[in-house]
Structures are given as C-alpha cells and as structure tokens.
Amino acid sequence: MTGHTISRNRYFLIFAALIVLLVLTISMAYVDLGPFNIIIALTIAIIKAVLVILYFMHVRYSSRVTWVFVSAGFFWLLIMFTLTMSDIVTRFSF
C-alpha cells in the first residue's frame, strides 16, 4: 500500500538475513541430525518465506484483509497436508 514506505536500507538488511539463512540451511544439511535435518530445513525455509512476505511483499504494513488472505492460503494448505497425512501415516501400520 502507499501508506508506508520501507527505507532502502531495510531491504538490504532483509536481503542479508536471507543470504545468511541460505548459507545456514546449506551448512546444516551437511551435519547429520537424523530426523531433525528436515525439521531444521523447513524451519529455516519458513523463516525465509516469512521475511519475504512481511518485508519484500509489505504485508507487515498492509491491511487486515491482506493478512486474512495470506493466512487463508496457508491455512488451506495445512488442511490438505494434515488430513491427507492422517491417512498416509496410519495406513501401513496394521
């Protein structure tokens, strides 16, 4: 929205954070943490996505309707993942 402009420095700061997180996710992948590898990878990815959404896409400064729309997309994704996986994870354990 026009109401709020983020300073240019803020964009560079976010970009630096994203690059640091990228380096972090690659280096963590080289450490064997068993099942925690994917958890860490996904956590870092989610943090990166949130940074992009909040700052590059200005959602932090957007109206409530925008927040609702963004959340709805991810909430529906969560519905699909949860209910489908509820079948997959219980199917083979007779």
Partner 1 sequence: MSTSGSENHTNYLNDGYGVKSWLLTTDHKRIAILYMISITLFFMIGGFFALVIRLTLLSPNGTLVSADTYNKMFTMHGVTMIFFFLIPSIPAVLGNFLVPMMIGARDLAFPKLNLLSWYIYVLGGIFTLSAMVLGGVDTGWTFYTPLSSGYSHTNVVPTVIGVFIVGFSSILTGLNFIVTIHKMRAPGLTWFRLPLFIWAHYATSVIQVLGTPVIAVTLALVGFERITGVGIFDPNIGGDPILFQHLFWFYSHPAVYIMVLPSMGIVSEVVTCFSQRKLFGYRQMAFASMAIAVFGFLVWGHHMFVSGQSVYAGMAFSALSFLVAIPSAVKVFNWTATLYKGTIRFNTPMLYAFGFIGLFTIGGLTGIVLATLPVDVHVHDTYFVIAHFHYIMVGGAVMGYMAGLHFWWPKITGKLYPEGLAKFSALTLFVGFNLTFFPQFILGYLGMPRRYHIYPPEFQVLNVLSTAGASILGLGYIIPFFYFMWSLRKGKVAGNNPWNAKGLEWLTPSPPPTFNFDKTPVVTEEAYAYPEEDLAGG
Partner 2 sequence: MDNEQLTHETRSFVAHQFDDLEQQKEAGTLGMWAFLATEILFFGGMFMAYFVYRFSYPQVFAAASQYMDVALGGVNTGVLLVSSLTMALAVHAAQEGKRKQIILFLIITMVFGTVFLVIKGVEYHHKFVEHLVPGFDFHYEGAEPGKSEIYFILYFIMTGFHALHLIIGIGVLTVIAVMTARGRFTKEYYTPVEISGLYWHFIDIVWIFLYPLLYLIHVHK
Interface positions with partner 2 (CB under 8 A): 1-2, 5-6, 8, 11-12, 14-15, 18-19, 22, 25-26, 29-32, 37-38, 41-42, 44-45, 48-49, 52-53, 55-58, 62-63, 65-66, 69-70, 72-74, 76-77, 80-81, 84-85, 88-89
- Residue 20's SS3 state is helix
Two tokens at 57? Answer: 């896409």
CA–CA separation, 54 vs 43, rounded Å?
16
The residues in 23-82 that bind partner 1, with binding defined as CB under 8 A, are 65, 72-73, 76, 79-80
Length of the chain: 94
Amino acid at 51: L
